[in-house]
Amino acid sequence: MRLHGFFRSSAAWRVRIALGLKGMTYEQVSHHLRRGEHLSPEYLAINPQGLLPALELDDGQVLTQSLAICEYLDEIAPEPPLLPRRPLGRAVARALAEIIACDVHPVQNLKILTRLRRLGADEEAIQGWARETIEEGLGAFEARVADTSGRYSVGDMPTLADICLIPQLGNARRFGAPLVWPRILAIESACLELPAFALAAPDRQPDAE
């Protein structure tokens, strides 16, 4: 398999974690976001959205959208599971993942921040937008896991929720958001004890700058 991504892309980071948890081998292909390489004709032929990541399968099929990729990996390699066994636990894990993947990350990613710059917003306001978005979302995540967490976000096994949480904490630090969420930070510490999470970090990638 070939994973098209960028070391700092939090969506690609999610897929790297999932691949690591599944023990799968893959080739990484980097597309530098700030240089616009994800908008090249060659990459748009792979993913017409021009978003990262994309996963090229051995048979040439292409998967996009990080959560869809993670669930595909979970279906073809069920152990260890990325979702709890019980339906309620699965729904909770998906809801936590979507807090980040649907309501936080898309509103503070490079595409949106670039549009704000084009609309004339100054850099301080843009950075404030990103921080506020992250703080709101992670504050909600912290409140939610008060009722669901064990060692990880949903019980004592890492799930799709943690796969989304760890990269978002990376974004929080990058934008200077205050890390005021003790439960989340405890979950992060537990996750980073696992090689799949530690090795997926941006600074461990071959294209890291």
SS3 of 30-53: the string is ECCCCCCHHHCHHHHCCCCCCCCC
Q: How many domains does the chain have?
A: 2
Domain final residue pick, 29, 45, 80: 80
**Residue 188 in domain:** yes
- What pLDDT is attached to residue 157? 97
Does residue 20 lie within any of the structural domains?
A: yes
Residue 12 lies in a domain: yes
pTM of this prediction? Answer: 0.96
What CATH number did the domain enclosing 71 receive? 3.40.30.10
Mean pLDDT over 52-71 rounds to 97
Q: Are residues 74 and 93 in the same domain?
A: no
Q: Give the pLDDT mean for 70-79.
A: 98
- Its domain, for residue 42, covers 2-80
Q: Which residue intervals of the chain are DSSP H helices?
A: 10-22, 41-44, 66-76, 87-103, 105-108, 110-118, 123-145, 160-174, 182-192, 195-199
Residues 55 and 104 in one domain: no
Residue 11 CB partners (closer than 8 Å, separation 6+) = 5, 51, 52, 53, 66, 101, 105, 167
Query: What are the pLDDT digits (tens) for 87-138?
Result: 999 999 999 999 999 999 999 998 999 999 999 999 999 999 999 999 999 9
* Domain stops at, among 31, 47, 80: 80
Predicted local confidence at residue 17, as pLDDT:
98
Q: Confidence class of residue 140 from pLDDT cuts 50, 70 and 90?
A: very high
